[in-house]
Amino acid sequence: MGFSGKPSKGCLPCRQKRTKCDLALPACSQCIRKNRVCSGYRNEQDLLFRNETKLVVRKVNRKTDNPPEQSLASNSSAPQLSTLSTQQLSRRAALHDEAVLHFFAHYNEKLFESRAGTLDGGFNYVLSVFQSDAVRAGPVSEIIAAAGLAALGNMKAAPDLVTAARAKQVKVLRALNEQLQNPKTCLSDSSILTCLLLGTFESIMSDDPQSQVAQTFHLKGAMTLVQMRGRDRFADDVGHGIYARMRGAILAHCVRVSEPLPDFILSFLGDDGISQRDFQPFLYKLLGRLCQLRYDQKTKGIVDNRMFREAQSLLDEFSTWSPGIPEWHAGGRPSVDSMPLTSNADETYRLIWLATTWIFQQTARIVASDVFIEGARGQALLRPGLAARAILNDAINTQLELVEELKESLAYYLHNFKASQSTMKTVGGYMLLWGLSGMSSASTCSEDTFLWMTNQAETIAEGFGLRQGRMLAEFLRKRARVPPVEEVRSSTVPSTSVRLRDAQQGPGSNSSLLSIFGTVYAPRQNGTATRIHRPVRQGKGVSQKGSEPRT
């Protein structure tokens, strides 16, 4: 090994451009600012020492005039190549194992049921399917490895790992297609969970504006399989965990894009057998009503009297809802003090789950209050007077208070999650991004609030290594340039025929970004093979301005 002096530690693009690299993680500021891929940083030992083995071997060979010895050296290269190949395979296997362990440590969601113990850490249904698929080389074990590789690549700013993750995902899609052609496996736990984890993979990657489209595509694929499988086949623990994961993703999607819950999901919510195992099924029914209300508002373009009354009812019911568990304090958020964020993954995850539930409740109240504000504005137009104006002002003040409470709580959880020693805090980072996304739907958000949310999203992206945080920060930065709905403090009352703003729909909700193309995962029930169409990539003509969507 020859000493090489003290060369630059910067990334390759900065060294090539001869610019100063700040060595930030997961990517340097220069690369982020110039929108280029940061290659990561060299190993410190490689910086100081150069491998000169080949040079030494060449010098020795030049001095050697004995042909038999040269022949012997030539023949000895075969076992050297064999050893090198074995070492490469060993490193590849070690990287695969590291990726799997990273996923389970940072991204594994668990199931909480009404019958679960107070301090229970949740049922690890993903691990059960992973273990069975690992034995038979099924797609779940591979998509988990792909997601882990993508997360490691983001964290280490290693493009080669991200590329390897995408290559592995392509193999997973191929294996899933083959599995869906088999009537024995097409509706299995493995098939449905693979679809859901493909969405998780795209969320981790977040390397393209179309990632949101791909997530929705995979989610609707899982939804199709669940619908075909039927309610009766989700009675066991693993099946119920997969259904609960799919339902939560569908609820979040429908709230964000103002779509009603699918009929079969509503039928699942009304099933007594499933409801008895659910954690507070009443909350899911409230969210289903909110999705329907948002859809009605979107399709009609106004808030009529029925919708106005429903918004008021939902506001009241969301504010009084409380699960019957000791850790939940009515009227206040779940506290870190009652369950410290230690290195214990189960304790940390349970707190994150409780905080997620509370934030979902708060964002639902903000969304419902937005509909109520529109209705109050219409009432003030139709029946002008002090009473109508007072109702409108009260509605606006209520939403302002909800936004401030959520802001303070998100900052509280962000501070504590960052300080946690548990790897499960990564799931908490995703929860915080959802809270910011939900807050952005409030019509009373000021430019300062949008800038605050932008800074929080960037902090989450850097502190938790989540690319999705950067995408949300960019969206919020553009939204900050759009003036919020003015607070009505005078006798001037806006028109009731107010169309939905894209601020109400949240990031990624542009209609052209939500199109789902072709046939989603749909194996026929008679076992006949069915083609699966991939989502068509759209053009780049999506407006980034905060304009009103066309009707």
Enclosing H/E stretch for 49: strand 49-50
Instruction: Report residue 3: phi and psi, to 5°.
Output: -75, 135
Query: How buried is residue 174: exposed, middle or buried, by Cβ count under 10 Å (0-12/13-18/19+)?
Result: exposed
The tokens describing 372, both together, are 């109520």
CA atoms within 13 A on the CB side of 231: 13
The pLDDT score that the predictor gives to residue 110 is 83
**Contact between 468 and 457 (Cβ < 8 Å):** no
The pTM of the full predicted model, rounded to 2 decimals, is 0.69
The pLDDT score that the predictor gives to residue 289 is 95
CA-CA distance, 343 to 346, in Å (whole number)? 9
The pLDDT score that the predictor gives to residue 323 is 79
CA-CA distance, 507 to 544, in Å (whole number)? 11
The pLDDT score that the predictor gives to residue 54 is 55
Q: Give the type of residue at 320.
A: T
Enclosing H/E stretch for 3: strand 2-3
CA dihedral 104, 109, 113, 119 (to 10 degrees): 60
The pLDDT score that the predictor gives to residue 343 is 60
CA-CA distance, 265 to 252, in Å (whole number)? 13
CA atoms within 13 A on the CB side of 335: 8
Burial string for 183-220 (b: 16+ CB within 10 Å, else e) reads eebbbbbbbbbbbbbbbbbbbbbbbeebbbbbbbbbbb
The tokens describing 87, both together, are 């070492």
- Give the mean pLDDT per block of 10 residues along the chain (551 residues): 59 84 80 79 53 52 52 48 55 85 88 58 87 91 95 89 93 94 93 95 84 89 92 86 90 91 88 73 90 95 94 94 74 70 69 86 94 94 90 95 94 86 81 91 91 93 87 86 45 34 36 27 37 36 36 32
